[in-house]
Amino acid sequence: MLNELLKRKLAHLFALLDVDDDGTIDRMDYTASADRLVTAFGFAPGSPESERVRERYNRLWESVTLPMDTDGDERVDVAEYSSGMDRFVTASDDGYRTHIAPVADAFYDLMDVDGDGRITRTEYVRMAASAFRLSEDAGNAAFDKLDLNGNGWLDRDELHTANEQFFRSQEEDARGNWIFGPIAA
């Protein structure tokens, strides 16, 4: 069952994913997000990197988001999205690893431009702006919250932990609540 914090977090993410701001998420929203991300990191449409991100988003659409569609219009509104995320990810012990982690891994592979296993502030802010339309200030604020040891970078495990906290934690002060930028109260 979603508490008020989880409802706010999911509504926040929904708004970021609704690329065309029409109040619903459809396959095109996922495709547009994937395309903006790969372009921001210098990969061409149709490249293996681009296809990997698109494939992961498509899998997320087919296995999680489309089944949330209760009225059969192949579009998901915020109520359907919140209910579905609760069912598939939040309330499921392995929901994050099964459904969200593969998409996150594709993002992390793109963000880690130099392949050193570290996501720098610049890489993170670029991802947040391109995939989720976050302002530079919001991306920097998120990075600051996630980089607890202040070393200037995040590794894949830190990002997975934070991402899973976003989807599952009911704690107001969980650092993962910041992974998609500040959430309105």
For position 23, which CATH number holds?
A: 1.10.238.10
Does 181 reside within a domain?
no
Alpha helices per DSSP H over 18-113: 27-40, 48-60, 66-68, 78-85, 95, 101-111
Cα 176 to Cα 12: distance, rounded to the nearest angstrom = 14
Does 82 reside within a domain?
yes
What's the pLDDT score for residue 114? 87
What's the pLDDT score for residue 67? 94
Total domains in the chain come to 1
What's the pLDDT score for residue 185? 72
pLDDT in tens, the chain (185 residues): 799 999 999 999 999 999 999 999 999 999 998 888 888 888 888 899 889 888 988 998 999 999 999 999 999 999 999 999 999 999 999 999 999 999 899 889 888 988 899 999 999 999 999 888 999 999 999 999 999 888 999 999 999 999 999 999 999 999 999 999 999 87
Domain extent, residue 80, equals 4-171
Does 108 reside within a domain?
yes
Does 127 reside within a domain?
yes
- Of the candidates 85, 66, 146, the one whose C-alpha atom is nearest the C-alpha of residue 111 is 146
Does 25 reside within a domain?
yes
What's the pLDDT score for residue 107? 86
Does 110 reside within a domain?
yes
- List, in order, residues 6 or more apart from 173 with CB less than 8 Å away: none
What's the pLDDT score for residue 41? 87
Does 77 reside within a domain?
yes
Cα 163 to Cα 157: distance, rounded to the nearest angstrom = 10
Does 185 reside within a domain?
no
- What is the reported pTM? 0.90
What's the pLDDT score for residue 149? 86
